[in-house]
Amino acid sequence: MKTKKNFNLGSLISANSVPILFVIICAVMIPLSGLPANYLLNEVVTRLGRNTFLILSLLIPIMAGMGLNFGMTLGAMAGEMALIMVADWQIWGIPGLVLATILSIPLSILLGLLCGSILNRAKGREMITSYFIAFFMNGVYQLIVLYMMGSIIPIMHSTLKLPRGYGIRNTVSLLQMRQSLDNALAVSINGVKIPFLTLIIIALACLFIVWFRRTKLGQDMRAVGQDMNVARDAGIDVDRTRLISIVMSTVFASFGMIIYLQNMGNFPTYQAHTNIGMFCIAALLVGGASVDKASIRNVFLGVILFHTMFIVAPAAGGKITGDSMIGEYFRVFMSYGVITVALVMYEAKKRKENRTMGQQLANEQKAEEEGKTA
Amino acid sequence: MGNTTTLGNKTKLKELLDSFGLPRLIIAGFLLLLLIAAPIVGLDFATQITNIITRFSWNAVMVLAMVPMVHAGCGLNFGLPLGIVSGLLGATLSIELGFTGFTSFLVAILIATPFALLLGGGYGWLLNKIKGGEMMIATYVGFSSVSLMCMMWLLLPYKHPTMVWGFSAKGLRTVISLEGFYDKALANFLTIDLKKFGVNLVIPTGTLLFFALLAFLMWAFLHTKTGTAMTAVGSNPAFARAAGINVDKMRFISVIMSTWLGAVGILVYEQGFGFVQLYTAPFWMAMPAVAAILIGGASVNKASIGNVIIGTILYQGIVTMTPTVMNSAFQMDMSEVIRIVVSNGMILYALTRKTERGR
Amino acid sequence: MEKNNTPLLELRNIQKDFFGNQVLTDINFTLEAGQVLGLVGENGAGKSTLMKILFGMDVIRETGGYKGDVLLNGEKMQFNTPFDALKAGIGMVHQEFSLIPGFTATENILLNREPIKKSVFSEVFGERMDTLNYKEMDRRAEESIKKMGVDIDSKMVVSDMPVGHKQFTEIARELSKENLRLLILDEPTAVLTEREAQALLDSIRSMAAQGIAVIFITHRLQEILSVCDKVIIMRDGYVVKDVPAKETDVREITRAMVGREVKEGGNAAREVRDHSDARTIMSIRKLWVDMPGEIVRNVNLDIKEGEILGIGGLAGQGKLGIPNGVMGLYDAGGTVEFDGKAIDLNNPRKCLDAQLAFVSEDRRSVGLLLDESLEWNVAFPAMQIQNKFLKKIGFFTWRDEKAIANVTNQYIDELKIKCTGSAQKARELSGGNQQKVCLAKAFALEPRFLFVSEPTRGIDVGAKALVLEALRKFNRESGVTVVMISSELEELRMICDRIAIVSGGKIAGILPADHSSEEFGMLMVSQVK
């Protein structure tokens, strides 16, 4: 009995090695950083509200076997463009956010369709392809926002434009709608602000995802994600199902980006989305997800652990080496590192052949021999 | 069967088009357009050519570094930053140890080599364990190592005054000038300078000769017994294995070669550019090299020296000429957008084209 | 079982050819509702092609369709896709499982046919947004499992199931289709244990009792006799026997399967030599090989120097696993001795060093570098293993392009390979010529022992004879021992001295090649797994 228990513990640890590693890192760095507990808690709760929706958008493509959707950046871009328009029309507060959300939908659907169709042509290489689609679309985004807005696309307020007369400025201020979502129904406990409305929206998204898994489409996606050929033979439209999963993810990402940006209050027009994909993916993986399996639990666990590390690393690094830059580089290193580890583990698992078959054959032979002589 | 009949002119053109690739033609056409437009918008043609040749000389070795891994079937080397990091270590240590002038260049290569062997060895071992998922993992291994080095550049005990921060005297600066060291070490060797004849053409012969030497060595290697085996591994690993080749060993060798060439490549780039760039600069250096070789006609598992040369010329041509021409013509600089669209578009095209063959 | 006037299924004058190669010639038979039909035949007899026609597979349409009629209940049917066949009530359980590993048996049984509950979203977003009715799913799954008659756990995830249960899940899936009238089972007992196989036979009987007709394809003749109402034996694209199971036995079926009339003026120079006095050049003991689909369990074989030994047997019984295992291409265990010295398994290099050569059955994936020239293909192994075609300049060894071109041209002439030149890409050659390139590659190694696996597969008739003649000439002139593995018994009987038959992953027996086809046939079906 005892050995059985040990074995289970061992496999439990190895299955959750990444989250456990991060728990240890945080446990070490929190006291080192010297940050007060209240501040830390407040920061974590804020970041939870800010980032969770974005990370949730990654779940559906994983379910459909598309791996880590670096193309969520496209959804972020859609959200940004919608916010630029709303800021230009000077519609603030919650109505502004609702309008931005509605505006972003056709845009994110379009981008999702584009991304999804390219990915359908690169089956087996979805992740690296979505990675480059994001980079490519960044160029298109710049084309639109830096050149076409203000010239071809009318922008009314010159405060948004660059001095040369066209193109959006490097920073777009959302001051008048800053935290309008978060502040509505906010409750302050001991100096920790809890943005209830935001959390309710996140909870609704989670409920949607749970419900979605029980729909026919969700079931089809799960089937396609595990074996495209079997699904196809059963009559499921594989390409269309995969396409829908990317479109859904992109739409979710654009909503998530709007929530993110309203919390920040302003955004660097050309930089906001460049690393968002990587950080969300890293957070999800830190929560224990893998390239082919991710749940809502991973999202929440990941957001908390990842962002805690993110907050304390510069301060802890400063205390240790006297230079807080170390901490900043450290958190970037951990983000890349955790993605690398997850990718390696996923590929290595794919390659683990049934080396047991050979042993089985040898044993069969032996048993036969013994049966004969006995 | 097996006799190719002569096709009509039309289909032969189509065949040429298919094999050359539409994007490649578009890019070549675009470059041609820019070259024609240059004198029209008032730019000096010779200067443009000088620029293209100069930038070719800086980048060609890093593009060459793609060839071994592609040949061995390890895919496009997005993990080039590992080689670049080795090169940076060589450069900084060479300066730290007090070498100057041309010698510092040679010492840099010398010191970079063991690092390249070590890092390339680890990287090669990893890639052998994850056959099929090389490209994605290479990208992130590259990123992780660059961000690790970001921390290292701050922590390692460098002391040379030209390299460390001013008042704290601890930690390396972001950009280090190579004046007095190996700035233009190769470029100033046997330079062909036509300025005195009134033509603004300067050809960095030294650098080009160095590239030619490395390219020749690569070409020669691919004609040896081992090089032949490596090509077979990339062409069809099952065939190579059945023929008794140690596929893992070939892949391993190709990764080390790629990494070492990446190290030398960044040193060649630095001598041309005049500066050593640390910290976050190496993050984005793999993509231009990958895009260049793809533009030159390579695919995910086949690359030749010709691809390297053509691709680097085309890519650097576009990257140098677009901002200058556009600025002169429209007072508008769309160079970054074009660079992003061209390089990433090329990579996307290659990714969506490759058929799963010979795996 | 009622007997209507119109049979459930009737095949009339079915003919099919693949680009001039006649695979099915005039197939006629009928099947009543509730009848169990056993379909027997060697590989290449046409069974799978016939089933592909019946099931509407794309490959039939893409290669020119078929002639003749398929009638269901007297009505002519044209199936263009498997879904047409499914709609008409035909179900098929293939040999390779078509299951989603992470789903439960229930989810697989109802895949893409799940009962649903309407939801509010479906009005807006389309019908796939309805939720699954899990209760109803469980009920239907249990129902079809009961219909099948074998107890499996509907809640178990497929990847956790023993192999036999996966097979039953597939059958339950077909049974859950309400309009199922005809079920085709392709080698269903290959992966089952004794008990499970018996359970399957019971299940077939119960299905038949419920009015479902069953076509049961298998090599296990005992099973056919125990559960089928009638037996149809196919050979070379014909129906050679159509007989009620009660009126036949294993011997008769085997004879029908493999027996062939002696061709007029057949290969006249067929001499069967006796090598029993020659020394044993290769000795294989307790060989097991993990080659998916061709598993070898326990092979013991002695090969005489200078002979041409044939290895035959039905598909999937392990004959292809033997050369692949010995030459190190698949995981293997046991001992192999060549010329008195032990050969390491799982190490292709060691075999090649010991001067063993192998022409693989998989030309395209293993045998050739399709994108390289013929020169590369022919010279490569010899170059790498024996350092041929290299010249030393300074410290390094370079490819000797001239020597490579020479040797390639030499073989192009000798084997009459049709190509534009030694620099042509291997991909562009026809199948037969590609095979000759593979032979040239092996010959260039000047081996002392040659395994040739399925040398004439996918080659037209003319080229077949040339390839076989080349092999025989090679053996006669150089004295090299040749072991030829082939699914075509007649081919083996044409050039081999002895023929070993593999069945169930073991050697069922070895006989001189001039023994009757029927005797070999009996060996083939003897221990079929």
Query: What are the tens digits of pLDDT across the range B191-230?
Result: 777 777 777 788 888 889 999 999 999 999 999 999 999 9
**Residues, chain C, total?**
529
**Cα–Cα separations (whole angstroms), residue A334 to A279, A331, B43, C177, C453:** 10, 5, 48, 52, 52
CA closest to A233 among chain C residues: C98
Alpha-carbon span A45 to A186, nearest angstrom: 12
Asked whether A234 and C98 are in contact (CB, 8 A), the reply is: yes
Query: Which residues in chain B are closer than 8 Å to C353, comparing Cβ atoms?
Result: 244
* Contact status of B332 with chain C (Cβ, < 8 Å): no
Alpha-carbon span C428 to C418, nearest angstrom: 11
Per the CB < 8 Å rule, is A129 touching B348? yes
What rounded mean pLDDT belongs to chain A?
86
Q: Which of residues 482-501 of C touch A (CB under 8 A)?
A: none
Facing residue for B239 by CB, picked from C369, C420, C433 = C369
Query: Which residues in chain C are closer than 8 Å to A365, comparing Cβ atoms?
Result: 286, 288, 297-298
* Contact status of B242 with chain C (Cβ, < 8 Å): yes
Residue C371 lies in a domain: yes
In a shared domain, residues C410 and C427:
yes
Facing residue for B148 by CB, picked from A333, A343, A344 = A333
Per the CB < 8 Å rule, is B154 touching A347? no
In a shared domain, residues C384 and C238:
no
3-state secondary structure of C280: strand
Between strands C449-453 and C481-485, the pairing is parallel
Facing residue for A118 by CB, picked from B132, B139, B352 = B352
CA closest to B337 among chain A residues: A139
Nearest to B56 by CA among B272, B213, B217: B272
- The per-residue pLDDT for C21 is 75
Q: What is the mean pLDDT of each run of 10 residues along chain C (529 residues)?
A: 68 84 86 91 82 85 86 86 86 87 92 85 77 90 87 89 88 89 88 84 89 89 90 88 89 82 47 81 92 89 92 89 93 91 92 93 89 92 89 83 91 87 88 88 92 86 83 89 90 90 91 87 81
**Cα–Cα separations (whole angstroms), residue C448 to B245, C341, C357, C466, C474:** 20, 14, 8, 22, 11
In a shared domain, residues C122 and C161:
yes
**pLDDT confidence band for A354 (50 / 70 / 90):** very low
Alpha-carbon span C113 to C109, nearest angstrom: 9
- Among C131, C159, C178, the domain boundary falls at C178
Query: Which residues in chain B are closer than 8 Å to C440, comparing Cβ atoms?
Result: none
CB pairs under 8 A between B and C: 87
Structural domain for C137, as ranges: 98-178
Between strands A186-189 and A192-195, the pairing is antiparallel
What residues does each domain of chain B span?
Answer: 43-282
For residue C392, the domain's CATH number is 3.40.50.300
Query: Which residues in chain B are closer than 8 Å to A340, comparing Cβ atoms?
Result: 137, 140-141, 143-144
Per the CB < 8 Å rule, is B242 touching C327? yes
Per the CB < 8 Å rule, is C424 touching B238? no
Q: Where are the beta strands (DSSP E) in C179-276?
A: 182-186, 213-217, 230-235, 238-244
Per the CB < 8 Å rule, is B224 touching C399? yes
Whether pTM > 0.95 for this model: the answer is no
CA closest to C158 among chain A residues: A226
Per the CB < 8 Å rule, is B4 touching C420? yes
Per the CB < 8 Å rule, is A329 touching B150? yes
Residue C33 lies in a domain: yes
Asked whether C182 and C118 are in contact (CB, 8 A), the reply is: no
- C-alpha A130: how far from its chain's center? 13
Query: Which residues in chain B are closer than 8 Å to A143, comparing Cβ atoms?
Result: 334, 337, 341
- The per-residue pLDDT for A2 is 45
Per the CB < 8 Å rule, is A361 touching C129? no
Asked whether C54 and C184 are in contact (CB, 8 A), the reply is: yes
- The per-residue pLDDT for B249 is 94
Per the CB < 8 Å rule, is A347 touching B133? yes
Asked whether C158 and C103 are in contact (CB, 8 A), the reply is: yes
φ, ψ of residue A70 to 5 degrees: the values are -65, -15
Residue C223 lies in a domain: yes
Angle at A67 between CA A64 and CA A69, to 5 degrees: 100
pLDDT in tens, A135-153: 999 999 998 888 888 788 8
Angle at A273 between CA A271 and CA A277, to 5 degrees: 135
Residue C225 lies in a domain: yes
> Which residues in chain B land under pLDDT 50?
1-8, 355-359
Tell me which of A237 and C518 has the higher pLDDT: A237
Which residue out of B71, B235, B236 would a mutagenesis test of the C interface target, given it has the greatest number of C Cβ atoms within 10 Å? Answer: B236
- The per-residue pLDDT for C266 is 46
Per the CB < 8 Å rule, is C397 touching B239? no
pLDDT in tens, A251-278: 999 999 999 998 888 888 888 898 899 9
- The per-residue pLDDT for C491 is 87
- The per-residue pLDDT for A363 is 76
Tokens of C447: 């081996």
CA closest to A356 among chain C residues: C290
Tokens of C357: 């050569």
Query: Considering its fold, how many domains does chain C have in total?
Result: 3
Other Cβ atoms closer than 10 A to B225? 16
Alpha-carbon span C188 to C218, nearest angstrom: 8
Per the CB < 8 Å rule, is C297 touching A364? yes
Per the CB < 8 Å rule, is A348 touching B348? no
Contacting subunits of B (3+ beta carbon pairs below 8 A): A, C
Residue C271 lies in a domain: no
Phi and psi based region of residue C298 (left: phi greater than 0; alpha: psi -120 to 50; beta: remaining):
beta
- Among C178, C204, C236, the domain boundary falls at C178
Tell me which of A238 and C23 has the higher pLDDT: A238
Burial grade of C69 (CB within 10 A; 0-12, 13-18, 19 or more): middle
* Contact status of A226 with chain C (Cβ, < 8 Å): yes
What residues does each domain of chain A span?
Answer: 50-293
Facing residue for C383 by CB, picked from B228, B235, B246 = B228
* Contact status of B220 with chain C (Cβ, < 8 Å): yes
**Nearest-CA distance A371 → chain B (Å):** 37
Q: Which of residues 292-321 of A touch B (CB under 8 A)?
A: 321
* Contact status of A233 with chain C (Cβ, < 8 Å): yes
In a shared domain, residues C172 and C183:
no
Per the CB < 8 Å rule, is B132 touching A348? no
Per the CB < 8 Å rule, is B225 touching C367? no
In a shared domain, residues C43 and C17:
yes
**Nearest-CA distance C264 → chain A (Å):** 45
Per the CB < 8 Å rule, is B244 touching C352? yes
In a shared domain, residues C433 and C347:
yes
In a shared domain, residues C247 and C296:
no
Tell me which of B103 and A190 has the higher pLDDT: B103
CA closest to B239 among chain C residues: C366
* Contact status of A352 with chain C (Cβ, < 8 Å): no
Query: Which residues in chain C are closer than 8 Å to B236, comparing Cβ atoms?
Result: 365, 368-370
In a shared domain, residues C211 and C152:
no
Query: Which residues in chain A are closer than 8 Å to C296, comparing Cβ atoms?
Result: 361
* Contact status of C286 with chain A (Cβ, < 8 Å): yes
Per the CB < 8 Å rule, is B337 touching A323? no
> For A181-186, which contacts have Cβ atoms below 8 Å and span 24 or more sequence positions?
A181/A94, A181/A97, A181/A259, A181/A262, A181/A263, A182/A46, A182/A49, A182/A262, A182/A263, A184/A94
Facing residue for B243 by CB, picked from C384, C419, C420 = C384
In a shared domain, residues C119 and C85:
no
